[in-house]
Structure 1
Amino acid sequence: MTELNNGFKKRVLRWKTVVLLLSIMSLILIACELCFGSVYYPVKDIIKVLMGENIDGVSYAVKNVRIPRMMGAVLSGFAFGIAGYVFQNLLHNPLASPDVIGISAGTSTAAVFMILVLNIRGGIVSLVAMAFGIITAILIYRLSIIKGHFTYGRMILIGIAVSALLRAVTSYLLSKAAEYDVGSTMQWLSGSLNGVQMKDIPALMVVVVILTLFLVSLTRHVEIIPLGDDFATTLGINIRLTYSIMIVAAVILISFATSVTGPIASVAFLSGPIASSLAGKGKESLIPAGLVGTVLTLGADLVAFHAFPVHYPVGVVTGLLGAPYMLYLLIRMNRRGIN
């Protein structure tokens, strides 16, 4: 019994340490995001602006460009990280990320249709994109049921197929759009923080905070689910209801974040596995996954802005990080299948 208590305390201490270190990294990257840009502003000037003081040149850049960009990176990265972790945890597969199985593609297609075809922008785009993300998730789930039997592997394969179909629709819409609209839309589709405005932040913040607190309240379920559906059922957990609620919450998170920043590639895909390896087994990694998503998004944005002669969208850098990891996963899964 003493060994079990000691093991539990060690896991809790490790979890708290990981959360603390990731929070510190996030704060450092936030400071860098506010200080560094086309022009460097000292930390003392940034603090003065945040405290309400007006400094010529600095105040406008910080309040209207850098703060919205930073907040967009923090909130969207956190949302992508948590949503990816929920999907991968529930479907028992590291490939089951929203940007792999078609949820992000559904959101993107809806947003592009609203922007290019209906010429609608603003909050309504977020709502429609969120609704279409949920519809896409339901469609993938329904197509995964054959003769009353559902499997996670079938859902992932169908999700990949639906994703390819939706991306084809998006490409068709882009090919028919006016030339002056294509550039900005393509930048958004790459996952970009350039167009984030302060008016986009409050709604995104409310959604992220409320749904994060809601998912944290289900921590007990999150910790039990990896042990298997049968074990969870014996403990009195309604698997179908719990999965449905958590997936809807994750879809809303991913849809809302995507409607603001575009589908930032691989953040949802990478955050869960990284967080789980850092936090260790036996303890849920929901909050660590969100913080990893924030760190990845902020770090990738700084690299995309400063490491190259051209300022690339943040999704280009995160996509480069995700591609090798996906190849590694496929090779590892293939070897396990052979053996």
Structure 2
Amino acid sequence: MKPGTGTGSHGGPGTSRGAAGRWGVDFGRSVLVLRLGPAVSVRAGVRTAATTAVLLLAAAAVGVVALGSGEFTATPAEVLRALTGEGPRAVRLVVVEWRLPRVLLALLAGAAMGLSGAIFQALTRNPLGSPDVLGFSTGAYTGVLVCVVFVGRGYPQTAAAALIGGLATAALVYLLSLRRGVQGFRLIIVGIAVSALLSSVNQWFIIKVDLQTAVSATIWGKGTLNGLGWPQVTPAAVAIGALCVAVLALGRKLQVLELGDDAAAAVGVAVDRTRLAYLALGVALIAAATAVAGPISFVALAAPQLAHRLARTAGTALAPSAAMGALLLMVSDHAAQRAFAPTQLPVGVVTVSIGGLYFVWLLARQARR
């Protein structure tokens, strides 16, 4: 990993001569280059990398506090010792076996939501473009409800059903928006309409099932991490990790798409194919998170915007958005467990309460523009 600093006048683009004697473009800011092989490298601004690291450390710190909180309390030092396999057996049992899976799932699901929100906000070029506003989260929930009613509940089944429901909803929204090219604002309006329709379908499913299933589906539909354990961690980590690698494999094409279809095509990007690839990955990410914790609202909406303001990037910041999503969901879940103790609220109740205010502010800000 090596930093490169810009020397263009007034922070603008210029040229600089590297150690190998080659001339290159200088974008006026420090850049970190991570070489993964002879032909593969990852570039990130120093501020972007620092923002991502700080957000991840903050999420980890909240996780340590959450691991030590509850009826059985433990100090941060005791939690860290338990995580390394040391300390009293009772502390290790509570911290590692009972509480750690929930913390890991909060971090994984939050990162998936933040990354998915960043993808859709870049594709629509609109801060309102997130999977919960576009209806993809609702569609994933519809798929899960169908699976619960007719097949049964288990992570492989619910994950597949959430993916199918999300992709079907995305295809419907995309086709209904496909008129003289896909426009971001039209995509959002159609997504809101489809989401309202699917919400009615979801309510119909809940009314038709037996009482016990209806209560369970209603609570889970608010978004909750209650009752989750180690059996859900491994498949969620594998699925979300693989999707993150797939997003990384596409390189910086998302930032190019933000410049507009004409500009992206001019530099050799296959616009329609690339957009569909990002659309599928974004839906898959939110489906994986929904299969774990239900349709948690507003994390995917707020995380990319907050990360963008902290990192001060020119376009979408994928890594900071994922880290911010992990932090937001971790903080929200800790608040949901402790704010009204001993009662544990679904984490979606907290994210809706906070995110609703942010959504109103964002709508007002967009209307002024």
**TM above 0.5:** yes
* Contact 2:162-2:288 within 8 A present in 1 as well: yes
2:319 pairs with 1:287 = yes
CA distance in 2, matches of 1:13, 1:122: 38
* Contact 2:144-2:158 within 8 A present in 1 as well: yes
* 2:38 aligned residue: none
SS at match of 1:227: coil
**Deviation of 1:285 (Å):** 0.6
* 2:361 aligned residue: 328
CA distance in 2, matches of 1:174, 1:6: 54
* Contact 1:15-1:283 within 8 A present in 2 as well: no
Residue 32 of structure 1: which of 35, 47, 65 is its match?
65
* Contact 1:219-1:284 within 8 A present in 2 as well: no
Higher RCO (C-alpha under 8 Å, 6+ residues apart): 1
**Deviation of 1:283 (Å):** 5.6
User: Structure 1 residues 52, 166: closer, same or farther in 2, change over 3 A?
Assistant: same
Unaligned runs of 5+ in 1: none
**Deviation of 1:62 (Å):** 2.4
* 2:30 aligned residue: 9
User: Structure 1 residues 280, 218: closer, same or farther in 2, change over 3 A?
Assistant: farther
* Contact 2:107-2:329 within 8 A present in 1 as well: yes
* 1:199 aligned residue: 231
- 2:56 alignment partner AA: S
* Contact 1:195-1:261 within 8 A present in 2 as well: no
CA distance in 2, matches of 1:293, 1:242: 24
**Deviation of 1:217 (Å):** 3.1
* Contact 1:117-1:177 within 8 A present in 2 as well: no
* Contact 2:304-2:321 within 8 A present in 1 as well: yes
* 1:92 aligned residue: 125
* Contact 1:133-1:252 within 8 A present in 2 as well: yes
Residue 294 of structure 2: which of 259, 262, 272 is its match?
262
Residue 319 of structure 1: which of 352, 357, 369 is its match?
352
* Contact 1:304-1:313 within 8 A present in 2 as well: yes
RMSD between superposed Cα atoms in Å: 2.0
User: Structure 1 residues 9, 122: closer, same or farther in 2, change over 3 A?
Assistant: closer
* 2:163 aligned residue: 130
Larger radius of gyration: 2
User: Structure 1 residues 246, 150: closer, same or farther in 2, change over 3 A?
Assistant: closer
Alignment of 1:164-203 (within 5 A): 164-203=196-235
Alignment of 1:42-53 (within 5 A): 42-53=75-86
**Deviation of 1:213 (Å):** 2.2
* 2:41 aligned residue: none
CA distance in 1, matches of 2:293, 2:213: 17
* 2:328 aligned residue: 296
* 1:153 aligned residue: 185
SS at match of 1:96: coil
CA distance in 1, matches of 2:212, 2:172: 33
**Deviation of 1:91 (Å):** 0.9
CA distance in 2, matches of 1:211, 1:289: 15
More helix by share: 1
Alignment length (residue pairs): 335
2:244 pairs with 1:223 = no
Q: Normalization by structure 1: what TM-score?
A: 0.92
* Contact 1:216-1:286 within 8 A present in 2 as well: no
- 1:79 alignment partner AA: A
Unaligned runs of 5+ in 2: 1-6, 14-25, 32-43
* Contact 2:67-2:99 within 8 A present in 1 as well: yes
**Deviation of 1:231 (Å):** 1.1
Single out whichever of 94-103 and 119-128 deviates more from structure 2.
119-128
* 1:101 aligned residue: 134
